[in-house]
């Protein structure tokens, strides 16, 4: 059975696990002549994500942009095209929504087992666990 992996989604939060996920996605993209979409989501409490006054300090998105820029360079060094997207919202929900949106054409999600969240989640991070159960394409969790 051949699994088509032309477009790989990699959620990035700058953690060591998310970088390992990126490296695995780069490897898979090289093998399958695919591309990577890196998605970086600034976690925002639900009520503020839709607040009309714009309570959020979007200068804090600088970290997100830096993470995506670094990922783009890392992929380019291996000859892989990486497109970065940034959002503010709920990481698990937004990753699943992006991956499941047919317009985005995602064939696979490669995600780190744990990100920057608390160490309360013993085996899987809450975001990767959510993504694993909600995404309709294959999900690879990298430890």
- Residues 30-42 pLDDT 10s: 999 999 999 998 8
- The length of the chain in residues reads 143
What is the pTM (predicted TM-score) of this model?
0.85
Question: 7-34+70-142 sits in which CATH class?
Answer: alpha beta
pLDDT at 125 over 50: yes
């Amino acid at each position: 059975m051949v699994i088509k992996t032309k477009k790989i989604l990699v959620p990035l939060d700058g953690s060591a696990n998310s970088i390992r996920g990126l490296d695995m996605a780069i490897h898979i993209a090289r093998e399958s002549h695919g591309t990577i979409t890196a998605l970086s989501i600034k976690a925002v409490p639900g009520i503020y994500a839709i607040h009309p006054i714009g309570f959020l300090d979007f200068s804090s998105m600088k970290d997100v942009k830096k993470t995506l820029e670094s990922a783009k360079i890392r992929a380019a060094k291996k000859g892989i095209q990486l497109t970065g997207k940034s959002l503010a919202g709920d990481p698990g929900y937004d990753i699943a929504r992006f991956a499941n949106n047919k317009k985005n054409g995602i064939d696979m999600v490669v995600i780190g087992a744990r990100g920057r969240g608390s160490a309360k989640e013993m085996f899987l991070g809450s975001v990767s666990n959510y993504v694993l159960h909600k995404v309709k394409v294959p999900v690879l969790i990298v430890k």
